[in-house]
Structures are given as structure tokens and as C-alpha cells.
Amino acid sequence: MTPRTPAFMIAGLLVAVGAHAAWPQTPIGLLGDRVAPQSATHSVAIGPNTRYVNVSYGDTVRFVANGESFGYDFDGAWSVSSFDLRRVAPPGMLDRRVMVYIEPDEYNSGA
């Protein structure tokens, strides 16, 4: 921005940035469903260097980390493409953000 940028433009930019930061998260009920780990079709180990995992819409996954596990069915809203796995993991299981990226199924991909 130049020294001549009007104050109202700067204020508008700050409001827009602040509104985005305060955007509400997707409700947990729209992310999918917690399931028994035994019902999962495959397992994903979350190690100390894991920063993200990829799944497909409809996958039922058993996540294993720090000696604990939980199952999750990624059958939530088709518009959800990613979220922090800590939101659905048992409390204290993950000590950092691990993003889960959901590949849409063939019916909801928009193709």
C-alpha cells in the first residue's frame, strides 16, 4: 500500500481479513462419523512426522497414534474436503495438527 492509500480502504481490508479468520468451522456432525476401530477397512499410522493423511469420501479408517486408536467413517457432507483430525480424535490423542484431505467420490466430484 502506498502512503496515499485511503484509510477506509485499509479499514475495509482489515475487516475482510478478520471476518475470514472468524469464519465458523464446519459442524462436527457434517465431517463424518466415529465408528468402532474394528469396522475400518484399512489403518493409518500417525507418526511423529505425519502432517496430513489422504482418504476418499466413504472410507472407514482406523487411525493409530501414541498407542491409541479410533475409527472414523468419512461419509459426511460431500462439500467437506479437509479438516484437522484433532477435531474428531479422542481428546489428547494427537498433540499437533494433522490435516485430513478427503478425495470426493465419483458421484460428488462435480465431474
Tens-digit pLDDT profile for residues 35-78: 999 999 999 999 999 999 999 999 999 999 989 999 999 999 98
CA distance 42 to 45: 10
In this prediction, residue 26 has a pLDDT band, given cuts at 50, 70 and 90, of: confident
Residue 28 has pLDDT above 80, yes or no: yes
In this prediction, residue 106 has a pLDDT band, given cuts at 50, 70 and 90, of: confident
CA distance 18 to 95: 27
Q: Cell 479438516 identifies what position?
A: 83
For residue 49, the one-letter residue type is N
In this prediction, residue 9 has a pLDDT band, given cuts at 50, 70 and 90, of: low
Q: Can you give the length of the chain in residues?
A: 111
Mean pLDDT of the residues in the chain: 84
What local confidence, expressed as pLDDT, does residue 105 receive? 78
Residue 108 has pLDDT above 50, yes or no: yes
What local confidence, expressed as pLDDT, does residue 68 receive? 94
What local confidence, expressed as pLDDT, does residue 19 receive? 44
Q: What is the SS3 assignment for 103?
A: strand
